[in-house]
């Protein structure tokens, strides 16, 4: 399938070289339809939503709410009221920590996360732990980057109230075994939050079969715009939670003596939303639906297998996260070659990767490093991108080693 027509950016250059964009785990490139949808709203039919009784506002409100239905279908949620628009995954996790967490976590209660988590799924729980005098327990990972499920099971106790896990590591690409997670938590009455930021672009999500209570992801990882994401939660939980922020459309009535809240999902959507971004998100979901997850998963595994083979042929290169169940995201190091120096050479060769700690400092510490290089692939990537990456790495080795 030729996707070049959808992603004009792949035909551009960087530093005079053909661009090999390998930073999709940070943000994916956007298909033309996303830019066109946002541009049309901004240039041709701008208005606020949920407020005006004039046709333009009513039309935009209808289109905006259609995107909520698209997300419902994307996640196979039971009801559209379970779909809360947020600024992104980080905002969604903070919403749960501030609203559900402050209501349900008490002194001595235990929250479990893992060693592979993004900082966005660490820091909010640390803040809640400190505020509530709770405990934060950590599931260790194995040398191949997978969770130690036996250790996970041993961490559970009568005080465990919440487990918050990434479905896919943003650094290594290793996939969490959800069947094991469900087995371990079965009949335990423990709330489960899933960070699906890195899962959503790669394989289908079904919240009715995952065993989760909350799930969140960001539009910009799924070929959509930045600044918008989703919190899905079971309706009964969301209805019981207090609002996260006040003002705007989250109210029903306001007096100086008392305010009453709007119904779901508006209760958690204070203020004027990111309208252009939500509409662009809808266009991205349409694009993903047209391509289809059977092709997306197949292509991801092809890139995974090909890139793994070619990267491991590079002398001294060390991959972090070697478990076979993963997506096409690769964290690696070249001993003796600092990731920043490597990234600089790759930049000059037209290869865009990320270097640093990838917002996973505890994970890198587990692997004995403070920084790593990361190449992450999307639908638009090809074997040529892999070859360009490998050649650039070998050039860096010659320059520095």
Q: Which of 176, 195, 181 is nearest to 94 (CA)?
A: 195
What is the full DSSP assignment across 343-365? HHHHHHTTEE-EEE-TT-HHHHH
CA distance 133 to 357: 29
CA distance 208 to 167: 15
CA distance 278 to 66: 10
- For 158, counting Cβ atoms within 10 Å of its Cβ (0-12 exposed, 13-18 middle, 19+ buried), the class is exposed
* Per-residue model confidence (pLDDT) at position 4: 79
End-to-end, the C-alpha distance of the chain in Å comes to: 40
Tell whether pTM > 0.75. yes
* Per-residue model confidence (pLDDT) at position 280: 98
- Say whether 216 is catalytic: no
CA distance 297 to 294: 5
Q: Which of 41, 11, 85, 84 is nearest to 384 (CA)?
A: 11
Which domains does the chain carry?
4-24+292-400 (3.90.1150.10), 34-289 (3.40.640.10)
Q: Which of 343, 399, 358 is nearest to 122 (CA)?
A: 358
Tokens of 93: 């996790």
Q: Are strands 354-356 and 351-352 parallel, antiparallel or unpaired?
A: unpaired
Which is the catalytic residue, given 178, 359, 369, 391? 359
> Across the strands, what pairs with 234?
none
> Across the strands, what pairs with 259?
254
Q: How far is CA 204 from the centre of its chain?
A: 13
Q: How far is CA 173 from the centre of its chain?
A: 12
CA distance 93 to 97: 6
CA distance 326 to 320: 12
Q: Which residue has the tokens 């469900």?
A: 182
CA distance 52 to 160: 46
CA distance 206 to 212: 10
Q: Where are the beta strands (DSSP E) in 219-317?
A: 229-233, 251-254, 259-261
CA–CA–CA angle 192, 198, 203 (5° rounding)? 90
Per the CB < 8 A criterion, the answer to whether 347 and 15 are in contact is: yes
According to DSSP H, which parts of 133-253 are helical? 149-155, 178-185, 235-240
Averaged pLDDT, groups of 10, the chain, 401 residues long: 87 96 98 98 96 92 97 98 98 98 98 98 98 98 98 98 98 98 97 98 98 98 98 98 91 91 94 96 98 97 98 97 97 97 98 98 98 97 97 97 85
Q: Which of 149, 129, 196, 132 is nearest to 168 (CA)?
A: 196
Q: Which residues contact 362 (CB under 8 A, 6 or more apart)?
A: 115, 117, 122, 138
Q: Give exposure, 232-263, as e/b (b: 16+ Cβ within 10 Å).
A: bbbeebbeebebbeeeebbbeeeeeeeeeebe
Q: How far is CA 214 from the centre of its chain?
A: 14
CA distance 273 to 275: 5
Per the CB < 8 A criterion, the answer to whether 85 and 269 are in contact is: yes
Segment holding 130, helix H or strand E: helix 123-132
CA-CA-CA-CA torsion sign (116, 118, 123, 124):
negative
């Amino acid at each position: 399938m030729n996707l070049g027509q959808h992603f004009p950016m792949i035909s551009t250059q960087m530093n005079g070289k053909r661009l090999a964009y390998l930073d999709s785990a940070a943000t994916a490139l956007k298909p033309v339809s996303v830019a066109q949808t946002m541009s049309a709203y901004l240039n041709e039919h701008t208005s606020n939503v949920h407020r005006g009784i004039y046709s333009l506002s009513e039309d935009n409100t209808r289109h905006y709410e259609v995107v909520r239905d698209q997300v419902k279908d994307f996640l196979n949620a039971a009801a559209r009221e379970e779909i809360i628009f947020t600024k992104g995954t980080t905002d969604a996790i903070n919403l749960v920590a501030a609203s559900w967490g402050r209501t349900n976590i008490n002194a001595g209660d235990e929250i479990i996360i893992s060693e592979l988590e993004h900082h966005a799924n660490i820091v909010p729980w640390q803040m809640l732990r400190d505020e509530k005098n709770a405990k934060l327990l950590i599931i260790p990972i194995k040398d191949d980057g997978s969770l130690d499920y036996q250790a996970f099971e041993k961490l559970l106790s009568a005080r465990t109230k919440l487990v918050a896990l990434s479905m896919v590591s943003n650094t290594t690409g290793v996939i969490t075994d959800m069947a094991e997670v469900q087995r371990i938590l079965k009949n335990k009455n423990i709330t489960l939050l899933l960070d699906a930021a890195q899962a959503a672009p790669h394989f289908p999500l079904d919240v009715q079969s995952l065993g989760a209570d909350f799930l969140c992801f960001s539009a910009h990882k799924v070929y959509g715009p930045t600044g918008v994401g989703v919190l899905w939660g079971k309706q009964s939980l969301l209805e019981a939670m207090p609002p996260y922020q006040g003002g705007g459309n989250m109210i029903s009535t306001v007096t100086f003596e008392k305010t009453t809240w709007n119904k779901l999902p508006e209760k958690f959507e204070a203020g004027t939303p990111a309208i252009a971004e939500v509409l662009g998100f809808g266009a991205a979901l349409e694009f993903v639906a047209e391509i289809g997850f059977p092709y997306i998963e197949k292509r991801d595994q092809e890139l995974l297998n090909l890139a793994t083979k070619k990267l491991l042929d590079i002398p001294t290169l060390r991959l972090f996260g070697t478990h076979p169940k993963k997506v096409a995201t690769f964290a690696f190091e070249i001993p003796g070659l600092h990731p920043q120096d490597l990234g600089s050479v790759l930049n000059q060769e037209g290869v865009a990767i990320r270097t640093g700690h990838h917002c996973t400092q505890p994970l890198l510490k587990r692997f004995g490093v403070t920084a790593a290089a990361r190449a992450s692939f999307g639908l638009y990537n090809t074997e040529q991108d892999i070859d360009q990456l490998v050649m650039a790495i070998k050039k860096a080795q010659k320059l520095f080693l």
